[in-house]
Structure 1
Amino acid sequence: MTTTAPDPPRPGAGRRLVRGVGELLITLGVVVLLFVVYEVYVTDLFGERKQAAATTAVDRVWAQSQETATVIAPAPDQMATDPQQRVPRYDTVLGEGFAKLRIPVLGADYVFTVVEGTAPDDLYIGPGHYSETQLPGEQGNFAVAGHRVSKGSPFNDLGLLNSCDAVVVETQDDWFVYRVLPMAEEESAWAATPRAHCAGVQVQTGAYHGVYGRQITLPSDYAQVLPVPTVLSTTVPPDAQRLITLTTCHPQFSDAERMIIHGVLVASYAKATGYLPPELTET
């Protein structure tokens, strides 16, 4: 007489529920992982392509301008210009490049074409100029936003900047050299502490009191990009400084806050064939 093995016991409802929940969590985990890979890596590749196209376009415009007005560089000590005499001779178009941003301490290859506008499509191309703010070199605040992570990640390393580090902006006709303002923790000892490359960089006073080289604020703090940061007016006062403001998300991988970098214009140079500002060699 032969016997057959009894059927294995069927899992209870509780066990089936746990197994189903586990499988669902694994699936969700894979989906989240794929999304993170896409956001951090794939969009970076797309962003780099968009940035390269914008750079090619602005290089073409500048080359055409130089063909009609080639300037030969005089002696290096004669290249400095008064920024008040530098009048922009170009128009900006939303989504198109019009300037280049260099930060020498972040590497000789750190250069991004700045586009006009801060809409999502604009920032996918590269750093974007707040259209309501001033142009490079002008009195007031030349303000630029950029992604810290994904879509090219142009501002990922802004947190590494120190006071007096150079931020160099190249336009069709000019070079503008800004330097990061003192940090809040440096204010009390600033005047008594020697620092390299700090000529023209001072702790801010008057209407600019409380404007520091790096600040962490809320995303709603739009006053940081006004002509005089934190002063609620869009009018550029006659004695306004020439500032640059860079904004990005903070902390990394989060948009809960904003990191703000403020710098002040300390030098400008006319563009000329074969000439590069000496500040570009700083490390």
Structure 2
Amino acid sequence: MRTVVRLVAELLITAGLVIALFVSHLTWGTDDYARRAQAGLNDELDALWRKQTTVSAAAQPGRPKVVPKTVVATERGKAFAVIRIPRFGSGWRYATVEGVSNADLAKGPGHYPGTAMPGEVGNTVFSGHRTTYGGPFNRLDELVAGDQILVDTASATHVYRMTGSKVVLPTDVSVIASVPGKPGAKAKKARMTLTTCHPKFSAAYRLIVFAELMRSEPRAMT
């Protein structure tokens, strides 16, 4: 009996160590990967935005500067915009990629292909991890109505205002429709939807944050 108890105890200790190592990988390991990925995405954006703004200026020499309402989608997995949420501090900024595959979201927030681009009429949808890979959307539940959500593109900053939130099942895809909750309806406004897992450390539900476009303005060049 003592031998059996000792064996069971050793197995439990071993299992505990394996679980601890796995959890450590999910937190620190994936966070480190996301940090390095974000650094690479920001380098991509610098090059992309320099190219886009140069082409735009060359195409309209001497003409008044206008704020573009749309941004051309890039290829899957590539960076094309930066999302910022002032409530989370000036240091909260994430380069976003086109696509929401596991590989895409490991780099940072991803834009749902086929949804509106930032600044466009329709629903621009971004998804992001809540706890692993840096947990970019970890604090979405702290947002309140009226909070700003900013999206920087090559030459514009699109300023959205949070209007509400809800928790839905993962199968509820109506939230990413052009008019959230009304599949098939024709959009008349520019909206944004952010999605992430809920509750933390679980994928049982989705936390959804809704916002509407307030204005688009020239991006501050740095």
Fold-level similarity (TM above 0.5): yes
Cα displacement string for residues 155-212 of structure 1 (whole angstroms, at most 9, x for unaligned residues): 111111111000000111211100110xxxxxxxxxxxxxxxxxxxxxxxxxxxxxxx
1:172 aligns with 2:154: yes
Does residue 47 in structure 1 map to residue 21 in structure 2? no
- After superposition, the Cα gap between the structure-2 partners of 1:179 and 1:30, relative to the gap in structure 1 and judged at 3 Å, is same
Given residue 27 of structure 2, which amino acid in structure 1 is its aligned partner? Answer: V
Decide which of 8, 16, 22 is 1:21's aligned counterpart.
Answer: 8
How far is the alpha carbon of 1:103 from its aligned partner? 0.3
**2:71 equivalent to 1:120:** no
Deviation at 1:88, TM superposition (A): 2.6
CA contact (8 A) 1:80 1:268 kept: no
Between the aligned partners of 1:26 and 1:272, the Cα distance in structure 2 is 55
What is the identity, as a one-letter code, of the residue corresponding to 1:218? Answer: L
User: Partners in 2 of 1:223 and 1:95 — Cα distance?
Assistant: 24
1:269 equivalent to 2:220? Answer no
Query: Shift in Å at residue 152 of structure 1?
Result: 1.8
SS at match of 2:149: strand
SS at match of 1:125: coil
* Aligned mate of 2:145, from 154, 163, 186: 163
Return the offset for 1:89: 4.9
1:252 partnered with 2:200: yes
What letter corresponds to residue 62 of structure 1 in structure 2?
W
The AA in structure 2 aligned to 1:146 is G
Shift of 1:221: 1.2
- Partners of 2:221 and 2:175 lie apart in 1 by 36
Matched, 1:214 2:155: no
Instruction: Answer yes or no: is the 8 Å Cα contact 2:53–2:155 preserved in 1.
Output: no
2:181 is aligned to 230
Structure 1 residues 107 and 32, CA gap change in structure 2 (3 angstroms): same
Larger-Rg structure:
1
The amino acid of 2:189's aligned partner reads Q
Q: Is the 8 A contact 2:71 2:117 kept in 1?
A: no
- Seen in structure 2, the aligned counterparts of structure 1 residues 261 and 171 have a Cα distance that, compared at 3 Å, is same
Aligned residues: 216
Q: Which residue of 2 aligns with 1:194?
A: none
Deviation at 1:69, TM superposition (A): 4.5
Inter-CA distance 22–270: structure 2 relative to 1 (3 Å threshold): same
Q: Measure, in 2, the Cα distance between the counterparts of 1:87 and 1:164.
A: 22
Report the equivalent of 2:191.
243
CA distance in 1 between partners of 2:56 and 2:66 (Å): 19
Whether 2:49 is the aligned partner of 1:62: answer yes
- SS of 1:220's partner is coil
Percentage identity across aligned positions? Answer: 38
Which stretch of the first structure deviates more once superposed, 263-272 or 223-232? 263-272
Deviations 1:248-279 (A, max 9, x none): 011111111111000011111133646xxxxx
1:130 and 2:112 aligned:
yes
Could you tell me the TM-score, scaled by structure 1's length? Answer: 0.72
Task: Note closer, same or farther for the CA distance 1:151–1:272 as it changes in structure 2 (3 Å cut).
Answer: closer
In structure 2, stretches of 5+ residues that fail to align are 59-64
In structure 2, distance between residues paired with 1:45 and 1:27: 26
Alpha-carbon distance in structure 1 between the residues aligned to 2:79 and 2:55: 20
The partner residue of 2:123 within 119, 131, 141 is 141
Letter in 2 for 1:260: I
Query: CA–CA distance in 1 between the matches of 2:56 and 2:189?
Result: 30
* Contact 2:71/2:153, CA 8 A, preserved across alignment: no
Task: Point out the more displaced range, 58-67 or 127-136.
Answer: 58-67
8 Å Cα contact 1:177-1:268 kept in structure 2: yes
- Normalising to structure 2: TM-score of the pair? 0.91
- Superposition deviation, residue 242 in structure 1: 1.0
Instruction: Decide which structure has greater strand share.
Output: 2
Q: RMSD of the TM alignment (CA)?
A: 1.9
Q: Which residue of 1 is the match for residue 135 of structure 2?
A: 153
